[in-house]
Amino acid sequence: MNKLFDVAELLKGADNIEIFTHIHPDGDALGSAYALASALKKLGKTARVTVNDTLPKSFAYIHEVDNPVFTPRFTVTVDVASPSLLGDFPSDRVIDLAIDHHSTNTLSAAHLYCEPDRAACGEIIFALIEELGVEPDQYIAECLYTAISTDTGCFKFSNTTANTFETVARLCKYAPNGNFGYLNTPLFITKSRKQISLEAEVLSSLIFLFDGKVAVATVTNALLEKIGLADNETAGVEQLAKLPEGVLLGITLKERPDGFKVSMRSADSVDCSKICAEFGGGGHHSASGCFFNATAEEIVRILCDHLEKNNILG
């Protein structure tokens, strides 16, 4: 499916629509999914968002809305690049429509609409909502601004394009006083003391490899327990390993019950999506992830071997 018109027509003919995001949902996943659900409701559709994971407190203004109970007849995924990111997804369920912006998408769906050049899935959803003929309101605008601003690092990342700014400029029409400053402060500036303590711990324990071109951060459950933070309160920690000057690839290991989630952030010279794809993950050129059922030490060794063998750092 390569035309947004066709996506809109498909949704117009559907009802009882359940929208899934990926596990460990970020601002783009939640903002895109809930914006789409709200737009579909404006068309008289029955729709809800399902996340097979704990919802982040920082995005409560998005997900604390009515989520009706019904028997789904049409399944949509938003911002989901691979089956492993769906978590406890019903094994007998067919994905009718997948909407994504990851070039590494490996989902099996009846219809896939993917625009890898979009900075965020939220950009696609905004265009889709227009194609559906729905007028956004403040809530939809807040959802989509959250989606786009978080996936671009508040417009700092290299994925930010003219279309990104044009989309956000149009969304500002629906914001109080014409801007989203009231969202920027909690999203990008204010941190709890516990979050600051976590960041201090992570930065002070960074491991530098390959003459400082690679930095590795590890967030263990023991560390979170010591500080008193829940996993869903650690948003943004993945950026820390990329902060030091000279680092081309920042790798963050976050402990899970059965291994570690690995998040990578890279300079333009390193395509971390290719690295993660080698280990069953994927994402974007400069922001990707994968999962290892191994110890932190084993993961670092495996990744270092891969980087050296393929001369990825030059």
Average pLDDT for 267-293:
91
pLDDT at residue 231, rounded to an integer: 85
Extract the runs of DSSP E, i.e. beta strands, from the chain. Answer: 17-20, 47-50, 74-78, 97-100, 112-114, 207-209, 214-219, 249-256, 259-266, 282-283, 287-292
Q: What's the one-letter identity of residue 232?
A: N
* Each residue's pLDDT tens digit, 205-233: 999 999 999 999 999 999 999 999 988 88
pLDDT at residue 40, rounded to an integer: 98
pLDDT at residue 284, rounded to an integer: 86
What whole-number distance in Å separates Cα of residue 228 and Cα of residue 195? 9
Task: Say if residue 296's pLDDT is above 80.
Answer: yes
Average pLDDT for 260-284:
92
Which domains are delineated in the chain? 4-187 (3.90.1640.10), 193-309 (3.10.310.30)
Mean pLDDT of the residues in the chain = 95
Q: Within 13 Å, how many C-alpha atoms sit on residue 121's CB side? A: 31
pLDDT at residue 41, rounded to an integer: 98
Percent of the chain beyond pLDDT 70? Answer: 100
Bridge partners of 47, per DSSP, are 17
Q: What's the one-letter identity of residue 61?
A: Y
**Lookup: tokens for 281:** 């993950």
Task: Say if residue 312's pLDDT is above 90.
Answer: yes
Residue 186 DSSP SS3: helix
Average pLDDT for 40-67:
94
pTM, to two decimals: 0.90
* Each residue's pLDDT tens digit, 154-210: 999 989 999 999 999 999 999 999 999 999 999 999 999 999 999 999 999 999 999
* 5: number of Cβ within 10 Å: 10
Residue 47, phi then psi, degrees to nearest 5: -150, 150
